[in-house]
Amino acid sequence: MKSRLRHQLKALRCGAGMDRELDAEVRFHVEMETEKYVREGMEPDAARTRALRNFGAMATHKEEARDARGVGWLDALVADARYAVRTLRKNPGFALLAVVTLGLGIGANTAIFSVIDGVLLKPLPYANGERLILIQQAAPLANQPNFGVSIRELYDYREQLASFDGIVEFHQMSFDLLRRGEPDRVDVGVVSPNFFDVLGITPMLGRTFVETDDDEGADAVLVLGHAYWQTKFGGDRNIVGQVFEMNDRPHTVVGVLPSVPHYPNEVDVYMPTSACPFRAQAERLVNQNRRAFAALQVFGRLKSGSAPQTAATEVATVGERFKQSHADIYRPGIGFQARTANVLEQLTVGARPMLFILLGTTGLVLLIACANVANLTLARTLRRDRELAMRTALGAGRWRLVRQLLTESTVLAAAGGLFALLFAWSTIDMLTTFVGRFTARTHEIGIDAGVLGFTLFVSILTGLVFGTLPALSSRVDLNTALKAGGKSTGDDSRRRRMQSALITAQVAVSVVLLVGAGLLLLSFYRLQSVDAGFNGDRVTSAEVFGNFTKYPDAPSLRRLYVSILERLEGAPGVVSAAITNSVPLAGVQPGQTRLQIQGHTYNTPEERPTADVRVASTKYFGTLSIPIRRGRAFSELDHENAPPVAIINESMVRHFEGRNPVGMEIGFGAGPNLTWVTVVGVVADVKVFGLDREAVAQVYRPLRQSGGLAGRVLVRITGEPSSAASVIRGAVHAVDPDLPIENVRTLDELRERSIARPRVTAMLLTVFAALALLVTITGITGVIAQSVTHRTQEFGLRMALGATRQTVLRMVLGQGLLLVGIGLALGIAASLALSRVLQNYLYQTTPTDPVTFAAVACALVVAGLLACLGPAWRATTVDPMTALRAE
């Protein structure tokens, strides 16, 4: 046993040496045998021939002897691979075509897989990532899928949940950080002191928060996010201990986070809850108002040993208790419920279906690539029959030949895999941006060991898949093949049928991809042409938020914005300007304020209609060219001391049940805070919240009668939109040089951004479908061309017997179109079944849109005709005499 092992090891180590030994041994044998015959009186030449014949098919014996060594398969693999590389180098055209086709197919899969791996498969990069559980509240009957957790509710959860060993809160604010006098508006995560412990993040510099940071009146402290620290402080390691002004208080930096993705949102800096003025103010109301500050995101870490299911039950039980003890708040009419969700799932839920659709798409592209290369290989085996027959004659077994062909496929696929990695590497940034529109979790996308493993696996699998068909068809009948001298054999027609089947399958899969891409394109086109109800040409918007410490109340904010507006209107080149909190298509969600309509009585608050309430300065409707349908626009007369007024949009009119709303009153608030405002006008609906969303009921209030929380500037200018930024900056800083100006964008830009998701989705699918179609067309051309070559004599004969060129042309085109037709029928059937998965991504387009299906069918017929045209033309140029003589 031991010696056998040693023998194998030796054989492995010096396989080539052993081969040479075997050669020498065989040579010696033949020489001895020859000498023997010479001694017996034969001529040396005859003796040698006899000796050789005695030895038989040398190749077989060598192989058998090699197999006897026990590592034959490995030797053979290396030899096969070498042979394959040599053969492929002799056919650079075939090799290049195959490698590029496979590379694109595998590459597309690698790229999508790297995204899936980074977004869905990798665990959260926190020490406790898999034990994090989100606590969510919902009131579905009141149309509130996310019923934010309040401070009081958070405390109740902390007291009553036993299966967690840490429950923390998060809410996001924007504050002005003053460093060296320069204002910087930063995104702030306001968190519990044990927030980072629960996530399992340890600081890179300094410390994170401790319990005492959260005491009332404690010195305000900050922890910086890694990216913010890098970009704004150049990675200064002496940052800990530095003091910055924020909300009129000194804030000391106590630590810097390592480079990890943030959860739940990416922010610039973190502060403990006591340092957030709004949160601290609400804290004092906790005992009077159960729902004070109901804007927290709450999650906890599961105790080790607790099951997620137990936690879910516990959270639901606490929610039931809320309903029983506070029926006035969690009224039965709102369907209140408390539940848990897995953090990772929650983070990626938006991207999941799209990623799987893309993986399906690239999978189909790879299938087409496989089919195409299988076809190319089949075509080659047809030409290689004589070579294969020769090798069989030299003693190579059938299995040996199959193995050889499979090795060749695998070598091709491996080269394709390398090309694929290049492809994936060069497209990964683009894909990451794309996925960023569906999920925040894009930081861990990259080509790592897992992705490399996937590529290797797919490459080998691909090689086996496209190699198996041609290899199995290589059952070479020695005599026929050698005698036929390259002419057709029985195997040929079998292979041609196989080729036709492959082409049909390629066409069918292409149809599925084209239908998908076509639906998305049509839907995108419709979305793009939606009339949004406003004219944003040459209008630019910017965010200007008054620092609340300097502008603490409505009057001061209103004064600020009115002054900015005056400056803007006086600036050169400005046609019209407005202050609002309603910039169309800027990515905000509609608000839901409960209102009362004059003349209605409501039994419960749920019966009152809801509307999105917005602030608009006098010239808002003029600036955006929003038409006034009835009544009037706001005027300078609608000031602080004038009677309160409102303008509603057409969607709001239905709440007035057929009466003319102009002149009627709407009630805001309830109880002692109830105020009635008079409707003075009706404006057209505007698609504020998305081109694909129906307009919602909206109520506009004049800036000077509002709470002042407007924050967005709109200007229409005569010059280039790019000059708007400096115009806005000049006007704002003339009023207050400390005001940060953010997100300066034209309304056209905002509109583009709002449909970036469907645009990129449609684009990606179109690229894949186009790729598939291209590959399929080359496949059709190849197969038809081959068949024309094969039938040259037949065509010659037919023409000699009187067939016209048109007849021949029609024959060839007919053959091609038959393949396309069958594939098309199969593809359309498959598309009808499959296109439903795109339902959620389509706008005003049904998944079975007949126009798209018809267009795809036409496109394929045209493509098929084009693909056959070249070979068909060649068929008509056959010279009957030459063709017949060749027989």
Q: Which residues bind another protein (CB under 8 A)?
A: 3-4, 7-8, 21-22, 24-26, 28-29, 31-33, 35-36, 54-57, 60-61, 64-70
Count H helices and E strands in the chain, helices first: 27, 21
Minimum distance of another protein from residue 68's CB (angstroms): 4
Taking the complex as a whole, the smallest distance from the CB of residue 21 to another protein amounts, in Å, to 7
CB 26 → another protein: shortest distance, Å? 7
* CA–CA gap between residue 157 and residue 149 (Å, rounded): 10
Report the relative pairing of strands 182-191 and 269-272 from DSSP bridges. parallel
In the bound state with another protein, the residue whose beta carbon lies nearer, of 66 and 701, is 66
Which residues does residue 252 pair with via DSSP β-bridges, in sequence order? 221, 243
**3-class DSSP state of 675:** strand
765, 361 contact by CB (below 8 A): yes
Query: C-beta of 784: minimal distance to another protein in Å?
Result: 47
> Closest CB to another protein among 26 and 464?
26
Residue closer to another protein by CB (options 67, 553) is 67
How many angstroms separate the CA atoms of 593 and 582, rounded?
15
Which residues partner with 577 through β-bridges? Answer: 715
- Which of 60/610 has CB closer to another protein? 60
**β-bridge partners, 630:** 682
Cα–Cα distance between 98 and 50 in angstroms, integer?
Answer: 46
Question: Whose CA is closest to 714, among 828, 553, 544?
Answer: 544
Give the β-pairing of 243-246 and 164-179: antiparallel
**Minimum distance, C-beta of residue 79 to another protein, in the bound complex (Å):** 17
Q: What is the helix (H) or strand (E) element at residue 630, kind and residue range?
A: strand 628-631
- Nearest approach in angstroms of CB 32 to another protein is 4
3-state helix, strand, coil in the chain (%, to 5): 55, 15, 30
- Apex 660 CA angle, 655 and 662, nearest 5: 100
DSSP 547: P
Nearer Cβ to another protein, position 400 or 874? 400
Cross-strand bridge partners of residue 139: 144
Q: Is the bond leading into 758 cis (omega within 30 degrees of zero)?
A: no
Contacts of residues 789-796 at CB distance under 8 Å and 24 or more positions apart, as own/partner, are 790/488, 790/492, 790/496, 791/875, 792/875, 792/878, 792/883, 792/886, 793/883, 793/884, 793/886, 793/887, 795/875, 795/878, 795/883, 796/878, 796/879, 796/880, 796/881, 796/882, 796/883, 796/884
Alpha-carbon separation of residue 766 from 366, 711, 770, 776 (angstroms): 15, 40, 6, 15
Contact between 613 and 709 (Cβ < 8 Å): no
Tokens of residue 548, six digits: 């609340």
* Nearest distance in Å: CB 478, another protein: 18
DSSP H helices, 436-553, are 449-472, 478-484, 490-528
CA distance 761 to 769: 12
Q: Which two tokens stand for residue 749?
A: 């830009």
Q: Which is nearer to another protein, 391 or 639 (CB)?
A: 391
CB of 60 to another protein, least distance (A): 7
What's the min distance (Å) between Cβ of 16 and another protein? 16
Task: Copy the structure tokens of residue 536.
Answer: 């944003």
Task: Write down the least CB distance from residue 777 to another protein, Å.
Answer: 51
Nearest approach in angstroms of CB 10 to another protein is: 10
Counted residue by residue, the chain has a size of 887
Question: Phi and psi for 522 in degrees, rounded to 5?
Answer: -60, -45
Q: 222: helix, coil or strand? A: strand
d(CA 492, CA 142): 70
Is the CB of 36 or the CB of 237 nearer to another protein? 36
State which residue, 39 or 180, has the beta carbon closest to another protein: 39
Q: Which is nearer to another protein, 6 or 497 (CB)?
A: 6
Q: Which one, 24 or 46, has the nearer CB to another protein?
A: 24
Provide the H-helix boundaries in 188-292: 195-199, 226-233, 277-283
Q: How far is the CB of 3 from another protein (least distance, A)?
A: 4
The rounded distance, in Å, linking the Cα atoms of 645 and 641 is 11
Contact between residue 463 and residue 410 where contact means Cβ atoms under 8 Å apart: yes
State the Cα–Cα distance between residues 852 and 836, nearest whole angstrom. Answer: 14
Closest distance between another protein and the C-beta of residue 62, in Å? 8
Q: Which is nearer to another protein, 4 or 90 (CB)?
A: 4
Spatial neighbors of 424 by CB under 8 A, at least 6 apart, are 107, 110, 111, 114, 447, 451, 455
> Look-up: residue for tokens 């480079």?
259
**Closer CB to another protein, residue 5 or residue 756?**
5
DSSP run (H or E) holding 760: helix 756-790
The minimum distance between CB 24 and another protein, in angstroms, equals 7
Task: Name the residue nearer to another protein (CB basis): 58 or 285.
Answer: 58
Closest approach, Cβ 407 to another protein, in A, equals 23
Whose Cβ is closer to another protein: residue 64's or residue 657's?
Answer: 64
State the Cα–Cα distance between residues 197 and 213, nearest whole angstrom: 14
Q: Based on CB atoms, which residue is closest to another protein, 32 or 349?
A: 32
Contact between residue 777 and residue 861 where contact means Cβ atoms under 8 Å apart = no
Q: How far is the CB of 46 from another protein (least distance, A)?
A: 17
Q: How far is the CB of 34 from another protein (least distance, A)?
A: 11
Minimum separation from the CB atom of position 61 to another protein (A): 5
For another protein, give the closer residue by CB, 5 or 637: 5
Cα dihedral sign, 849-850-851-857: positive
Residue with smaller CB distance to another protein, 24 or 709: 24
Radius of gyration from C-alpha coordinates of the chain = 38
Q: Which CB atom, from 55 or from 457, has the smaller least distance to another protein?
A: 55
